[in-house]
Amino acid sequence: MPAGELRYPSPPNSSVTETPPDEDEVWAQIKAEAKRDAESEPALASYLYSTILSHSSLERSLSFHLGNKLCSSTLLSTLLYDLFLNTFSSDPALRAAAVADLRAARVRDPACVSFSHCLLNYKGFLACQAHRVAHKLWTESRRPLALALHSRISDVFAVDIHPAAKIGKGILFDHATGVVIGETAVIGNNVSILHHVTLGGTGKACGDRHPKIGDGVLIGAGATILGNVKIGEGAKIGAGSVVLIDVPERTTAVGNPARLVGGKEKPARNEECPGESMDHTSFISEWSDYII
């Protein structure tokens, strides 16, 4: 295990880990949703059959969809499909993570109307699943292939996650456009990250140089977190914040440069898991100099 890795303990009462996600159940629901949609909207039926209804499992559907999304004239869909299918088929943890991410989107995002909507349309979800495959390739020392996949994900989804970055499960990348996550970043479980968020490095020095994000963290849109800093479990980073040093667990940092809401000495405490509650703005009243 590389020196840079970080293991926050899982939150004791996380519903996701207590009720292990059932891949078959979610897949059955996805098929039911797609069937309903195909019936009500013939113009979309072809799309729904090719992406979902013609497949016998979530891993096949996901592999097919990613293969067709990420292919290019020089990286054929058949090659990518094969790669995804082999990887998802042989690694149940990847499938479990995909299911946990689907549940995360469904529970946390009020605009997520169905599992199938997330599976087909959420670039954050798709980028994250493709990243997990790239990460697995990276750990197996198949780095050129991992980096080629990384490049395709960044081109197609505008989501740039280095294949070495470690990402937990139950992750919601909401909107996702412009997310950048560096090589030695680590993200815990049940984290929600909005679009344009950067988990960046600190210059050209090598080594462990990117943020470590604890379980249950919520990072608002456009937040920039730089360097090998720790964002503690259950912390919340306000939209547009620039964070360069550690943020204690269950606190909220806001602004550019970021300050703790409630002050450094006695910061206000967050709810249990902002990554799941997705409460972006309730801290406003405590943010003393918000003066419009």
Binding residue for its own copies (CB under 8 A) from 100, 193, 253, 273? 253
Query: Per-residue string for binding with its own copies, 57-96, x by CB under 8 A?
Result: ---x---xx-xxx-xxxxxxxxx-xxx-------------
Cα–Cα distance measured from residue 237 to residue 246, given in angstroms and rounded to the nearest whole number: 11
Residue listed under structure tokens 């940092």: 253
* Smallest separation, CB 224 to its own copies (Å): 5
Determine, following the binding rule CB under 8 A, whether residue 178 of this chain makes contact with its own copies.
Answer: yes
Binding residue for its own copies (CB under 8 A) from 109, 215, 233, 249? 109
Binding residue for its own copies (CB under 8 A) from 97, 99, 133, 148? 148
The span of 2-10, 21-29, 93-101, 180-188 binding its own copies (CB under 8 A) equals: 180-188
Nearest residue to 219 via CA among 275, 180, 177: 275
Binding residue for its own copies (CB under 8 A) from 17, 57, 89, 154? 154
Name residues contacting its own copies, limited to 187-226 (CB under 8 A): 194-196, 198, 200-207, 209, 220-222, 224, 226
Is 246 in contact with 227 (CB distance < 8 Å)? no
Binding residue for its own copies (CB under 8 A) from 27, 122, 138, 173? 122
Cα–Cα distance measured from residue 252 to residue 247, given in angstroms and rounded to the nearest whole number: 8
Phi, psi of 223 (to 5 degrees): -70, 145
Is 212 in contact with 231 (CB distance < 8 Å)? yes
Cα–Cα distance measured from residue 229 to residue 128, given in angstroms and rounded to the nearest whole number: 22
Binding residue for its own copies (CB under 8 A) from 11, 227, 232, 234? 227
Cα–Cα distance measured from residue 135 to residue 248, given in angstroms and rounded to the nearest whole number: 28
Helix (H, G, I), strand (E, B) or coil at 243: strand
Give the H/E segment covering residue 147: helix 143-157
Instruction: Select 7 or 290, whichever has its Cβ closest to its own copies.
Output: 290
Binding residue for its own copies (CB under 8 A) from 9, 18, 110, 266? 110
* Smallest separation, CB 96 to its own copies (Å): 23
